[in-house]
Amino acid sequence: MKEHYFGDMRMLEIHPSIALKPYVEKYYLYEKMDDRLNRHAFRALPNGWVEMFLLFNGNRVTFLTTGQRMSLSGFIAGIFELNHPMKIKVELNGHPMNGISVVLTHLGVNRILDRSLRDLTNQILDFSSIWGSNQQWLQQNVLETNDVRQKLKNLNDFFLSRVSANHRPAQRILFILNRLEQMAGPLTVDRVAVEFNISYKSLYRMFIEEIGLTPKMYLKILRFNQACWMLSRQPSVSWSDLVDRCGYYDQSHFIHEFKAIMKKSPLQYLKSSRGSFYLDRAYVFR
């Protein structure tokens, strides 16, 4: 168990049971809201994972897009493109901000959610569209259960029952995605095509069909998340080292891409955020 802080917010990182490791990457238990998240809308940048969020005590998160507003206490967040206009606002109802975030593996999306990755790309789905008749059980046994250990146990049991009942085959692309998570050094489309002995055309078609993103966009998400992680954990890292390890062409390419996504320079980001992550994601206030 690891402890993290985002301002005043305390987060406990917990790894799943052995039986769930193929399907769940990690859990985060979080408590106490950092005042910035309560006062300002923000964007949480994608990290290449699908996540499930459960907020306790009736608190909700509001998602704002052009002409749309959706408030939820339990939801699934798919993989978003880096420039997607979604904004997030936390709404407290007088109770402390406590909750659980579940980072699902790519196989877990197939087996626990019974969905393909493409079904969730650029999507926020409420529990009713995923769990159906199981939503009430989750409400009673997770959201409304007071003991945190019991919440996690009930959630573990629920996930295992879903895995046992669901026989959806794993997507073909999962082997490539899992390997990408382990690859060190620059991540480029050409390198991936060579690594897996596959043509660019075939690689492009597979990503579009199975994730709904181009390989270039998916690698851009991984590369950008890695850069933000390095800025967060190693703020004194040299630009040349960061550029080389994350696969940018040069320093100007990195700074240009960073500004386009974050609307601020890397140095401004470090100054305003102290390089911290909100749960497992880089963020930017709007």
Per-domain residue ranges for the chain? 2-165, 174-285
User: What does the block give as tokens for 124?
Assistant: 């926020």
Is residue 273 predicted with pLDDT exceeding 70? no
User: What does the block give as tokens for 222?
Assistant: 């991984």
* Amino acid letter for position 249: Y
Alpha-carbon gap, residue 119 to 90, rounded angstroms:
25
Q: Is 247 exposed, middle or buried (0-12, 13-18, 19+ CB in 10 A)?
A: buried
Per-residue pLDDT tens over the stretch 171-214: 999 999 999 888 877 778 888 999 999 999 999 999 999 999 99
Lowest-pLDDT choice from 3-7, 18-22, 43-47, 79-83: 3-7
273 vs 163, residue with greater confidence:
163
Give the relative orientation of helices 251-262 and 266-273 as an angle to the nearest 10 degrees: 50
Give the relative orientation of helices 239-246 and 215-233 as an angle to the nearest 10 degrees: 150
* 6 sits in which H/E element: strand 2-6
State pTM to two decimals: 0.89
Q: What HEC string does 23-85 produce?
A: CEEEEEEEECCCHHHHHCCEEECCCCCEEEEEECCCCEEEEEECCEEEEECEEEECCCCCCCC
Per-residue pLDDT tens over the stretch 88-133: 888 777 676 788 899 999 999 999 999 999 999 999 999 888 888 8
Please report which confidence band the pLDDT of residue 18 belongs to, taking 50, 70 and 90 as the band edges.
very high
The superfamily CATH assigns to domain 2-165 is Jelly Rolls (2.60.120.10)
Mean pLDDT: which of 8-12, 82-86, 201-205, 255-259 is highest?
201-205
Arithmetic mean of pLDDT over the chain: 86
Is residue 35 predicted with pLDDT exceeding 80? no
Determine contact, residues 61/89, Cβ cutoff 8 Å: yes
36 vs 186, residue with greater confidence:
186
Asked, colleague to colleague, whether 2-165 and 174-285 share their fold, the answer is no
User: What does the block give as tokens for 96?
Assistant: 């402390």
* Amino acid letter for position 71: S
Paired sense of beta strands 283-285 and 42-44, if any: antiparallel
Length of the chain: 286
122 vs 83, residue with greater confidence:
122
- The residues near 83 (Cβ < 8 Å, ≥ 6 apart) are 260, 261
Please report which confidence band the pLDDT of residue 49 belongs to, taking 50, 70 and 90 as the band edges.
very high
Average pLDDT over residues 152-179: 92
138 vs 51, residue with greater confidence:
51
Is residue 274 predicted with pLDDT exceeding 70? no
Neighbouring CB atoms inside 10 A of 18's CB total: 7
Strand partners, 98: 31
DSSP state of 278: B
Would you identify the CATH topology of the domain 174-285?
Arc Repressor Mutant, subunit A (1.10.10)
